[in-house]
Amino acid sequence: MTGLAGRLVRLNVGLFLYGFTMAMLVESTLGLDPWDVFHEGVTRHVGLTFGQVVIVTGAVVLLLWVPLRQRPGIGTVLNVVVVGLAADAGIAAIEQPDVLWLRIALLVGGIVGNGFAGALYIGAALGSGPRDGLWLGLVRRTGRSVRFWRTATEATVLAVGFALGGTVGVGSVLYALTIGPLVQLFLRWTQVDVPRRDPATVP
């Protein structure tokens, strides 16, 4: 499935799975990744669901692309909506377990599934997510390293989210240590070759 239709299927499956595995991490109550710590923290202070906060945050972050002169792709726009809807669907479908081993299973399954989902939508090459595009734009505009801006943005949202009551725990550490290698591993099977002049791809 290397044509545009096939890549759109990969993209939407990846985005839905990404949101659903976010819900698995939420329901494990063992810790979230930095952006989800922020999302969960915000839900404690506004009358919105977790998924709705994900959508609103994505839209606001996308507006920050304008001064950074970032161009969204099809995947960027779909990311804003689909991930949040899938997260709410997952939270509604998954009952928070009382038994620790089930919470650990949710955590591990959520992290591995999140890595696979991320590789699926990244591999479709139809535009980066709004949050990734933010630090990519800062890298391009300032000349500072990817390491600097990704660390700076994620440390900031983690600190704010924790202050707002978001869940930080062992899962946060495990996610941080494993998500990069997992995405890289899964990209071997999900990456597609994209024509250089493909109009659907963000350069």
- Percent of the chain at pLDDT > 70 equals 93
CB-based contacts of 175, cutoff 8 Å, min separation 6: 25, 31, 32, 33, 111, 114
Query: And the tokens for 87?
Result: 């997260």
Question: pLDDT-derived band of residue 199, with 50, 70 and 90 as boundaries?
Answer: very low
Average pLDDT over residues 156-175: 95
Rounded Cα distance between 87 and 107, Å, is 15
Predicted local confidence at residue 89, as pLDDT: 98
Residue that wins the pLDDT comparison between 111 and 3? 111
pTM given for the model: 0.88
- Among 25-39, 60-74, 104-118, where is mean pLDDT lowest? 60-74
Average pLDDT over residues 36-40: 97
> Coil, strand or helix: which one is 158?
helix
> Coil, strand or helix: which one is 120?
helix
Query: And the tokens for 10?
Result: 């990969």
> What is the pLDDT of the chain when averaged over all its residues?
90
In this predicted structure, the answer to whether residue 132 has a pLDDT above a threshold of 50 is yes
* Residue 110 near residue 101 (C-beta atoms within 8 A): no
Question: Tokens 């202050």 belong to which residue?
Answer: 163
Angle at 187 (CA atoms; ends 181, 188), nearest 5 degrees: 105
Rounded Cα distance between 54 and 144, Å, is 27
pLDDT digits (tens, 9 = 90+) for 42-94: 999 999 999 999 999 999 999 999 998 888 999 999 999 999 999 999 999 99
How is the chain split into domains, by residue range? 4-190
Query: And the tokens for 25?
Result: 């991490």
Rounded Cα distance between 15 and 110, Å, is 14
